[in-house]
Structure 1
Amino acid sequence: MMLITYLSFGVVGVICIVLQYWVRQTDKSPAIGNNPTFLQFQRVYFAAYLPAVVADWFQGPYLYKLYSHYGFQEDQIAMLYVCGFASNVLLGTWAPVAAEKFGRQKLCIIFTIIYSIACFFKLSQSYGVLILGRILGGIATSLLFSSFEAWYIHEHIESNDFPKEWIAVTFSKATFWNSILAVLAGIVANVSAEWLGLGPVSPFMLAIPCLVVSGLVVATQWKENYGKQQVKFGKSCFNGLRDIVTDSRIFLIGMIQSLFESSMYIFIFIWTPVLDPANASLGIVFSSFMVCALIGSAIFQLLLARRVLVVNLLGGAVACALFGYFVCIFATNPHNTNHRLAFVAFLLIEVAVGIYFPAMSNIRSRVVPEKVRLSVMTWFRVPLNLIACIVLMTLHNNSFRHGNRLIFVVCTALMAIASLALVKFISIVKDDEELGLGQTQEEEEEQLVPAV
């Protein structure tokens, strides 16, 4: 299985390079954001943000392996994951409000401190200490994906008065380098844990210097900023919930997002115990997953440029994931697991993830009003994490312990429901000209040209 792992990484790597080159060749959008002051501002942001995300990626390949290495059983490991998901959803709702009130720079510094402590706790074999580490990790993750972005947007618009359309340029670069660094992080983690024989805790120790660098850049190169007005958390949440309940389009988008991403969270837990018994190189497997996500992103861009509707691309992602989970049901036979087939199915699921995120982001930006987007996204996170927690916690119940196959049966069912919700969503929005989801990109542009 180890040889298959490395060969697969090489194959998907070549496919990714070809597709990315193709994307660059077909991209005819004008170059914007070449202002020297803007580029310097970007560099200051990336100098803090990219080390932070590298630290996060270092911890992906060997988290389950570490807990297993310490001798914990699958149900105990599942509870550790649940603690991380629960703290993320409970405190993730608080993070944006805290950033507005106490300062986004402070929250970013606090992130680096909390995440460093969480990594240090991985050195302990005490179950209680590891649970505390997972809780701190959940808090840190919610800060990473809220405070950094909020700081940048405020500085971009309020302090530097750059054009708003340049924000997309920065986040596009951030997404690209985030993906590249995720692939490299998997390789480095594999070298550290397996080639050098430092064990599964070593990637977590590698994350700490990255967090220190990020914290120092934030502390010395960033300036503090706050929200213009205090966020009324209760009112904001109520308005978001009202829009979800009263607007069927938002409700269905939230349903699709919760079902797809909860399955993805479950997948994050389950892929290691499926492949680890076959002696797979976990770091290289992780890097292969990240390359496949890049392939999915390139497929999205290429098909969008060829006037494929965004809703159809989202449908393709859901169908691809559904098929991948369905194949996993047969690959994870408790009596004879087909590790190679499971690995191929996992790669297919990651391609679906790469298509899903830009497609969902595009649709959500059109369907969810800007003024309630933060609160709506907060509500979306609740069922997302709740589903993942419930599925993982059933591992404690002996009547449900039928191996990994049951997990993939659940994921397949979730994706089937997501497919039905997407069909309903398409039937609602197909004639909505204001959203433009039933139009190609060229047709949308033509509508903006006044008739002569």
Structure 2
Amino acid sequence: MDHLKIQEFWDLRRRYLFVYGLVVAADWLQGSHVYALYESYGISSRDIALLFVMGFGSSLLLGTVVASFGDKLGRRNVCIAYGVIYGLSCLTKHSPNLWILMGGRLLAGIATSIMCTSFEAWLVCECNKKGLSIAQLGDILSGATKLNGIIAILSGVVAQFAVNTSGKLVSPFDVAAGILTVTSILVYYLWTENYGDQNAPHLQPFASGVKTLLADTNVLLVGLIQSLFEGSMYIFVLLWTPALEVKSKDHIEKAGEPKNILLPHGYIFSAFMIAVALGSFLFSCLSRRLSLERILMGLLIISTLTFVPALAIPEDAWAVFAGFVIFEFCVGVFWPCMGALRGRYVPEDCRSTLMNYFRIPVNLVVVVVLVQDASLWINFLCCLIFLAACAVLPTRFKPTKVSDKDEENDAGNEVSLLSATVPNYSIRT
């Protein structure tokens, strides 16, 4: 690999990860106190559930359309809009009015769809324009996952510090709004614009996305795997707290009595984020030795087994916790692996549109979970079934010229890249 290609790789990696770190920081800052803020306004638990349904429903309906415009109007432009839209959502948190908060959740749903699709679509297009390999794309995505885990832990501390200093639960959202403003400015100045098929009619990306899903088995498989895995992940995110409640045999739960969780929420969350970071590190190692499809199949099989304790011995909170930690470890492997697979199989002209199509089943699953009243056992059984279905799908990928080439060259590219950049290893962390 020539020196210019190495420089282009590190330059793109730094520009992307710098912005990405701010993007996820603004998102994580809002997670720790949103429920408590709604409660402080006197909003009932039923209305709080409706607020969350509004967010996921907005991401399902409006977010899919808005984020898909990036293929035609420019991925950088949509990423800039992300900061504006999400920032306005943060500002609505100052009002206790339910309808204003609903509007904020609607904006947040749109922003979440952009965050989960347009930023990665911009990165993949830049990698393709610069002639970088799938291995290098996987390296950047792996770095993003590790950075995400570190920032998630730090964001909880920063959010709590903001609340303690100001005495207001809305303070983390104000910090997030400031970060989102900076994010939009940096994207404008540091990133170049890229597109899908810019000359196509406005509705062409949507039609092209459907046509590609029906015609390309590999794209359909990527979408199914992502949807089933993320659906399981979001069910887990919603339900891990009650699953880790500890009840002694003679304990009788009474109304209003505080529930005894296995460990403090912050410690559990930190353990999950550390597991995600370790999983991402493992992917960096495995991707130099195994194909993406083999890595994916292995992590999906392990992920399926992680829910067995929650189903077989739910009363053993420590066993359930161990399974959850291993699941989060698999999540850390999954994100960069799937990102690299999307870079390989998903076509450039309608990438943002297809990535949003992949999220439609995810949002549907989460909305159903929020509005129904099934037991923990049933919900975790759904997770196991989804993941078991995922585990057989990687065997159905069809070889392509692109993937064959990558299989031949990725190992050599990685060795050259690492040998040339050992002094800069600290940048990778």
- Please classify the TM superposition score into its range, dividing by the shorter chain length: 0.7 to 0.9
Alignment of 1:7-46 (within 5 A): 35=7
1:182 to 126, 133, 152: 152
Name the residue aligned to 1:25: none
Q: TM-score w.r.t. structure 1 length? A: 0.72
Letter in 2 for 1:81: F
Structure 1, unaligned stretches of length 5 or more?
A: 1-28, 447-452
Name the residue aligned to 2:275: 292
State which drifts further: 173-182 or 77-86: 173-182
How many residue pairs were aligned? 395
Name the residue aligned to 2:380: 408
Query: How far off its partner does 1:441 sit?
Result: 5.1
Name the residue aligned to 2:422: none
**C-alpha distance in 1 between matches for 2:298 and 2:9:** 37
Asked if 2 retains the 8 angstrom alpha-carbon contact of 1:190 and 1:281, the reply is: no
Structure 2, unaligned stretches of length 5 or more?
A: 246-258, 413-429
2:328 counterpart of 1:350 = yes
2:88 to 105, 117, 129: 117
Q: TM-score w.r.t. structure 2 length? A: 0.75
Name the residue aligned to 2:306: 324
Name the residue aligned to 2:30: 59
Query: How far off its partner does 1:105 sit?
Result: 5.1
Name the residue aligned to 2:233: 264
**C-alpha distance in 2 between matches for 1:47 and 1:311:** 29
Asked if 2 retains the 8 angstrom alpha-carbon contact of 1:97 and 1:233, the reply is: no
Q: Secondary structure of the residue that 2:211 maps to in structure 1?
A: helix
Q: Secondary structure of the residue that 2:102 maps to in structure 1?
A: helix
Query: How far off its partner does 1:393 sit?
Result: 1.8
**C-alpha distance in 1 between matches for 2:287 and 2:73:** 41
Query: How far off its partner does 1:383 sit?
Result: 1.7
Alignment of 1:13-412 (within 5 A): 35=7, 48-67=19-38, 75-99=46-70, 106-149=77-120, 164=132, 168=137, 173-192=143-162, 198=167, 201-218=170-187, 221-222=189-190, 225=193, 227=195, 229-274=198-243, 277-278=259-260, 280-305=263-288, 307-330=289-312, 332=314, 338-395=316-373, 400=374, 402=375, 404-412=376-384
Aligned residues with identical type, % of pairs: 32
**C-alpha distance in 1 between matches for 2:217 and 2:187:** 41
Name the residue aligned to 2:248: none
Asked if 1 retains the 8 angstrom alpha-carbon contact of 2:71 and 2:350, the reply is: no
Query: How far off its partner does 1:380 sit?
Result: 1.7
Cα deviation, 1:300-357, whole Å, max 9, x if unaligned, reads 222333x33432321222222222223223565xxxx554444333212111111112
Letter in 2 for 1:312: R
Query: How far off its partner does 1:259 sit?
Result: 0.9
**C-alpha distance in 2 between matches for 1:155 and 1:418:** 30
Asked if 1 retains the 8 angstrom alpha-carbon contact of 2:244 and 2:317, the reply is: yes
**C-alpha distance in 1 between matches for 2:149 and 2:2:** 23
Query: How far off its partner does 1:235 sit?
Result: 3.1
Q: Which runs of 4+ in 1 moved over 6 A?
A: 29-32, 37-42, 152-158, 442-446
Q: Secondary structure of the residue that 2:203 maps to in structure 1?
A: helix
